[in-house]
Structures are given as C-alpha cells and as structure tokens.
C-alpha cells in the first residue's frame, strides 16, 4: 500500500534528505514486500551507523507527520500521504475547535458535561500526537 512518495507527495514541512531517503525506502519496500522494513533493514539499505540512528530518524519522521507507526510493534511503519495528513488534521482541529467553543460558550453546561468535554479535548489531542499530527 505504498503512496508513490516522490511522485505524489509534497509535505508542508519538507523532510531532510536523510528523512526523504528513509521515507522512500520504506514506501518502496512496503510496496514490494507488502510489509514495512525492519530498522535493521533500513540501516543496512541506507548505510546508517546504528539501529539507534534509524530509530531517531523514524521518531523524527513520526513527529513531523511523515510516518505513522504502532508503538512496540514490528514492521508497522507507514508513510502518510499528504491528503490523509491534511484531512485527519482538519477533522481533529475542527472537532477540538467545536468542543472548545461549546465549553467556552456553554453557560448552561453542568460541571459534569464541562468535564466530559475537557476530557474529550485531551483525548483528541493525545490521539493527534500519537498519529504525529499537528493540531
């Protein structure tokens, strides 16, 4: 399920050259093997110094929104297409904005309802962080 990284994706924040090489390798490998590469395979293919270096680059890509992964799961790396990144970010921002407005303008909200809305906002922001989205 690759996204043809260099042909179709231009990110708002451009990846570094090293990140771009890693993203391209992950995307190509995933298309060819129907699974993402291991950190060791990335290290070997790109001639990186250590698995720790790969892990740091992967973490930076996740934080920048270029990749998503399932924590503590092998071969779970997935390059995020720009369209998905934008759509998910907009949906989460919209939902957080709506809940914030409801909280700020909801004079008739019970304390229990207000706390429920605050909890929902915290949950949405946590979900966005896990997905590597900037909301």
114 Cα distance to chain centroid: 29
pLDDT category of residue 12 using cuts at 50, 70 and 90: very low
C-alpha 46/C-alpha 94 separation (Å) is 39
Instruction: Specify the pTM.
Output: 0.55
Among 2-6, 20-24, 33-37, 116-120, the minimum mean pLDDT is found in 2-6
Contact 133, 92 (CB under 8 A): yes
The residues spanned by each domain of the chain are 5-80, 83-131
Among 23-27, 37-41, 48-52, 123-127, the minimum mean pLDDT is found in 123-127
Domain 5-80 matching CATH 1.10.10.10: the answer reads yes
pLDDT tens track for 61-103: 888 778 888 888 889 999 987 666 667 777 777 888 888 888 8
């Amino acid at each position: 399920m690759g996204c043809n990284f260099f042909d179709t994706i231009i990110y708002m924040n451009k990846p570094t050259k090293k990140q771009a090489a890693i993203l391209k390798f992950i995307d190509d490998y995933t298309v060819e093997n129907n699974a993402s590469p291991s950190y060791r395979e990335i290290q070997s293919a790109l001639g990186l110094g250590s698995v720790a270096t790969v892990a740091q680059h992967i973490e930076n890509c996740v934080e920048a929104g270029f990749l998503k992964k399932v924590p503590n799961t092998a071969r779970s790396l997935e390059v995020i297409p720009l369209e998905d990144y934008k759509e998910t970010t907009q949906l989460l921002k919209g939902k957080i904005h709506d809940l914030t407005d409801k909280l700020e303008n909801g004079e008739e909200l019970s304390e229990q309802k207000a706390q429920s809305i605050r909890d929902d906002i915290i949950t949405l922001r946590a979900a966005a962080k896990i997905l590597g989205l900037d909301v």
